[in-house]
Structure 1
Amino acid sequence: MSRLQAPPPAPVRSMTELFAIAQAMETDAVAYYNAMAVAMRQRGSAALADVFDRLAAVERGHVAQVDDWSRRQHGAVPEPTRLRWSPPDTFDVPAGEASRSRLITPYGALAAAVRQEERAFTFWSYVAAEAADDEVRRAAEHMALEELEHVAILRRERRSAWHAERGTRAPSRHLTLADLAERERAIAALLAAAPEQIAGARRPELAEQARQAVTRLDALALDHGSEPVASLTGETCSAETRSGDAPASTDDLLAAAELLVDAYLAAAEQSQNDAVVSLMHDFAAMAVTRLAALHDEAPGT
């Protein structure tokens, strides 16, 4: 598989092809986490092996869901022969390379899993956007929504691991719509002035998305004033606090982008206002795609 850096090489033409792609990606994830679990046990890291076992079990559940969906619709499990191109590799590095690292921790394992799900979300968003067939588009949108839910779950798990490794709990941060608009404004400014290697060819598009987000957030803030819409704790909040409110470097940009993913997901879950929930879901999708692009282009990733 090739690393996800761009839209798929061709639109997905049929549901049988979509099922084959989904099965291949989920099966690859099972194999990756299984290999990591075996490697961790071989070096005596039982706790970390348990983390990977749990992730593998989750991915096996995804494979079963895809198989069931295919059976209901076509009477058979997906066929690998339906693949016209190789699905992208959504992991940071191959399992063999990752398992040799002596620095990996439960938090690091979960962070890698988060990035994998973010890339999978981006992939299915691409598929949906390029689909000519309405059924394929709806199915790809469903897959993208599933991946976004997985992102939210794994990010919560990652925060728990962060607290456990440090034996302390970071203070909560309560964010308003105006706070979110300010961070989008800072991201837009940095992206507009950033060198080409940051976010690659997508830099102008991401900057424009941030500017549009500012406009929509400012408008919504007029109706909600200083009411907090998201409460955050954890490593993302602390990292963003250290870097300040206006990102000035690639690391600061990543910290601000991380915080906005968590903030939008939290607001979608915590808000009781339907208009806010709907907008936060849209922004969470945008923020996850942006973060995946920034991670893939950032030096050393």
Structure 2
Amino acid sequence: MVQLRVEPAEAIGSCEELMALAASLEQQAAQRYRELAGRCGRGNAPELATLLSELADRAEEQGRRLAASSHPASPAEPRSPPAGVFDDEGLASASPALVSRYRVLSTAVRNEERAFAFWSYLAAHARTPDIRMAAEALAHRELEQVAALRRQRRMAFRAERSQPASTSLAAPLAQAESRLLARLQDRPAGGFAPDREGLAELVTHGRDNLATLDRLPEIESAGGAVSMPQEVDELAMAEFLLEAYLDVADRSQDEELVREAQRMAGRSINRLTWLRQHSAWRDENDHKV
């Protein structure tokens, strides 16, 4: 689960105010998804434009419901959306040719996870029990959205993996691991010893995964082509590789392959968790500067 990059500063005084804030977040998401859909449409990527339009429609509908949920006859005044929750993660500046359905859904999943973290934070710091219960309900709704989007993302992953290598930006799992390992080896760890130790452990995990792929090339065959664009950050690379290993563990009928894929997935989960935490810490410090 991703973490918030900016600690919420909102002081919520009523459930109506909370719902207005929730509506503003949905409206922001709808607007951004709509803008991205238009860009993909102009970039001759109609399937992505349709997907983004569907995400926008869903957010708009939810925003309308939230805006009038407390007092339908007199909905609360609109509020500015909270900072640090919605992030297009570079989709707005990426070429549509380098954006996949999987990448769009991954971005949507992480946005919902940040929204869950946001409402959970507000619930924990609520002034009154009714505000706490309303924030917890919003957090629960975000978890439901995360689960639904993750199912769509897994389907997109499998569909993209099944594409012929000659028609996709494909790279074997070992090449993807090597790319991520090279990024991690060049990455500054920060000034604290735990950061340095954690990064060293990630490098070891990457080498262990590469050694396993070298020893059991059948994992490559079971994993298929990894359709991963060249210009993605470490978080996206780590998440994509985790999906690949989980997919091998889910689909393989070979007990050894399943066992090794699960071990690789375990190492990948640790890697992804560290990267997310370190990224959140770095973003927070950049924000303070």
Tell whether the structures are fold-level matches, with TM greater than 0.5: yes
Match for 1:114: what amino acid? Answer: V
With structure 1 as the length reference, what TM-score do the two structures score?
Answer: 0.57
SS in structure 1 of the partner of residue 92 of structure 2: helix
Aligned mates of 1:196, 1:150 — CA distance in 2: 35
Aligned match of 1:78 in 76, 79, 82?
76
Structure number with bigger Rg: 2
2:94 is equivalent to residue 90 of structure 1: no
Separation of aligned partners in 1, 2:195 and 2:146: 29
Structural mapping, 1:107-186, within 5 Å = 107-167=102-162
- Counting only pairs closer than 5 Å after superposition, residues 53-68 of structure 1 correspond to structure 2 as 53-68=53-68
Cα gap change, 1:157 to 1:94, in 2 (>3 Å): closer
- Contact 2:21/2:82 (CA < 8 Å) preserved in 1? yes
Matches within 5 A, 1:257-268: none
Q: Deviations over 1:220-259 (max 9, x none)?
A: xxxxxxxxxxxxx954614893862653xxx65245x5xx
Matched AA of 1:29? A
Identity of aligned residues (%): 30
Question: 2:32 corresponds to which residue?
Answer: 32
For the residues of structure 1 that align with 2:276 and 2:60, how far apart are their CA atoms?
24
- For 1:129 and 1:196, how far apart are their aligned partners in 2? 32
1:285 aligned partner: none
Distance 1:120 1:167, change over 3 A: same
2:233 aligns with: none
Q: Is the 8 A contact 2:120 2:139 kept in 1?
A: yes
Which of 225, 237, 240 is equivalent to 2:246? 237
Gaps of 5+ in 1: 169-192, 199-232, 258-289
Matched residue type, 1:34: R
Query: Which has the higher mean CA deviation after the structures are superposed, 111-120 or 235-244?
Result: 235-244
Name the CA shift for 1:40/1:237 in 2 (closer, same or farther; >3 Å): same
Shift, 1:119, TM fit: 0.1
Tell me, what secondary structure is at the counterpart of 2:69?
helix
Residue 57 to residue 138, structure 1, CA distance change in 2 (3 Å): same
Query: Where does the alignment leave 5 or more consecutive residues of structure 2 unmatched?
Result: 164-192, 199-241, 250-260, 284-289
Residue 91 of structure 1 aligns with an amino acid whose one-letter code is F
Compared CA separation, residues 245 and 52, structure 1 to 2 (3 A)? closer
Counterpart residue identity of residue 76, structure 1: S
